[in-house]
Chain A
């Protein structure tokens, strides 16, 4: 065997034996370190998975959404605005959409009620593929329910139920179908119906809608046409598909949010603790270093020994932490983070997350955890190792 490799293997053997001599302390440090890495990695995996899913699906979002603003709040947009849009060249179609939230006082759940003419929407002719049953028909008070709404309403075998209008009179509704469970990530809390039923439920005038979905002939002109719409209709807010996608990048981005700050603070606290422990070497450890130097070990050898010890502890903690995080996020649906992510939501979609672990994520976690730990333990060891052995022994 190569002498240099044999030397490193011998040093590694000695380091592992040293770790074993203080196995209680070292095992405890490794478990705590693995726990911190588990939390950071879980958050990173969860964020990356949700961002990737949002990016993949929101390429199908409306190209432009036009909302009317009044006194800083969104309000119903007059359908008369539709007649002014064709003056802008490049607009293919503009579809009014009615949607809003319905608070179910019995269960405390919020439903999202949505009505649009699928015949005028992209891929509307294929909507039946996402539904068990059939599409709602106008004038019959029919609805298609999301999986979460079905669970929450506990309809059993019944097809009829009622919701309250704003004046507290009841509107009878009939279930024409349910969204397939595979679409739950987008439709869990959705009640899809026809525009006439949604207007009746929310008491929205026939000449108004909640917002307008605008589709353009050339997707390369989305931002240009959005600017023209904003100029033509100055009391509106115009959102584009790239802005909608960007929202999710920011929402789930690594730097965003309170949770990442808490987790990084925990990691920083651990590194500071490691530094503190390593810089205050026990008398026994100092004596061990002195004896090794008396026996002829060089400062460099002792540093390599400490490096192997720290690398073993931190690498095992890293592998254990990342593996546990993968299990937590992609097998258990991020159980620990669900209370933060979903909050007080009564309707909670089954989080079946798409595994999205990239080398970049793993490298980031490695750099944020293992490298500071190595620095925090090797540098104090170097300071102890340069002390003359006779001083250390005394």
Chain B
């Protein structure tokens, strides 16, 4: 026997779909809150190492000195290794010209 139910109107299906996605995003939000609490536990160790060793940069791209230590490298380092040298490291495309360089020129 066919189920004697009223079909949901299309707008209700959309609302259900949005509800599922919203629930997923609320889950992400809760997870991010947990991660941030966890970070508060980890940060002191990172802060101690940074302060005690006088570190100036995050260890992200280690392929070239100006991507490993952008804060303390020469601003024109990508172009100074030899005449006509062009920036060629992949991570160099992700890294913008440091603001410090403009201040240095003043």
A interface residues with partner B (beta carbon < 8 Å): 9, 12-13, 16-17, 20, 50, 53-54, 56-62, 65, 67, 72-74, 95, 97, 101, 109-110, 112, 114, 116, 118, 121-124, 126-127, 129-130, 146, 148, 179-180, 182-190, 192, 211, 213, 237, 239, 243-244, 246-251, 253, 256-259, 312, 315-316, 319-320, 322-323, 326, 330, 339-349, 354-355, 357
Please tell me if the beta carbons of A54 and B104 are within 8 angstroms of each other in the complex.
Answer: no
Residue-wise interface mask of B (24-58) relative to A, using a CB-CB cutoff of 8 A (1 in contact, 0 not):
11001001100110010011111111111111101
Please tell me if the beta carbons of B24 and A323 are within 8 angstroms of each other in the complex.
Answer: yes
Partner of A244, one of B43, B46, B65, B71: B71
User: Could you pull out 26 A-B pairs where Cβ atoms are within 8 angstroms?
Assistant: A20-B10, A57-B46, A61-B50, A65-B56, A65-B72, A67-B72, A72-B76, A72-B80, A110-B62, A110-B68, A124-B51, A124-B52, A127-B48, A182-B42, A183-B46, A246-B99, A247-B70, A248-B71, A251-B96, A256-B95, A340-B90, A340-B94, A342-B62, A344-B63, A345-B62, A355-B31
B18 interface residue per 8 A CB criterion: yes
Please tell me if the beta carbons of A257 and B96 are within 8 angstroms of each other in the complex.
Answer: yes
Chain B residue nearest to A249 (CB atoms) is B99
Chain A residue nearest to B43 (CB atoms) is A56
* Given contact pairs A54-B58, A123-B47, A340-B93, a sample of 8 additional A-B residue pairs in the complex whose CB atoms are under 8 Å apart: A61-B56, A127-B53, A184-B59, A186-B50, A192-B53, A256-B96, A316-B21, A346-B63
The total of interchain contacts (Cβ-Cβ below 8 angstroms) comes to: 236
**Chain A's nearest CB lies how many Å from the CB of B86?**
14
- Given contacts A183-B46, A343-B91, are A250 and B97 in contact (CB under 8 A)? yes
Majority DSSP secondary structure for residues of A touching B = helix
Please tell me if the beta carbons of B51 and A60 are within 8 angstroms of each other in the complex.
Answer: yes
Please tell me if the beta carbons of A129 and B94 are within 8 angstroms of each other in the complex.
Answer: no
A180 to B41, CA, bound (A): 14
A122 to B47, CA, bound (A): 11
**Chain B's nearest CB lies how many Å from the CB of A85?**
16
B6 interface residue per 8 A CB criterion: no
Please tell me if the beta carbons of B36 and A187 are within 8 angstroms of each other in the complex.
Answer: no
Task: Note all chain A residues with C-beta closer than 8 A to B44.
Answer: 129
A316 to B100, CA, bound (A): 42
Please tell me if the beta carbons of A118 and B52 are within 8 angstroms of each other in the complex.
Answer: yes
Partner of A57, one of B9, B13, B47: B47
- Given contacts A61-B55, A110-B68, A250-B98, are A340 and B49 in contact (CB under 8 A)? no
Task: Note all chain A residues with C-beta closer than 8 A to B46.
Answer: 57, 130, 182-183, 185-186
Task: Note all chain B residues with C-beta closer than 8 A to A320.
Answer: 21
**Chain B's nearest CB lies how many Å from the CB of A350?**
11
Task: Note all chain A residues with C-beta closer than 8 A to B54.
Answer: 61-62, 65, 95, 97, 116, 121, 213
Please tell me if the beta carbons of A112 and B62 are within 8 angstroms of each other in the complex.
Answer: yes
Please tell me if the beta carbons of B28 and A243 are within 8 angstroms of each other in the complex.
Answer: no
B17 interface residue per 8 A CB criterion: yes
Task: Note all chain B residues with C-beta closer than 8 A to A20.
Answer: 10
Please tell me if the beta carbons of A189 and B62 are within 8 angstroms of each other in the complex.
Answer: yes
Task: Note all chain B residues with C-beta closer than 8 A to A123.
Answer: 47-48, 51-52
Task: Note all chain A residues with C-beta closer than 8 A to B74.
Answer: 72-74
Task: Note all chain A residues with C-beta closer than 8 A to B89.
Answer: 343-344
Please tell me if the beta carbons of B72 and A239 are within 8 angstroms of each other in the complex.
Answer: yes
A95 to B18, CA, bound (A): 58
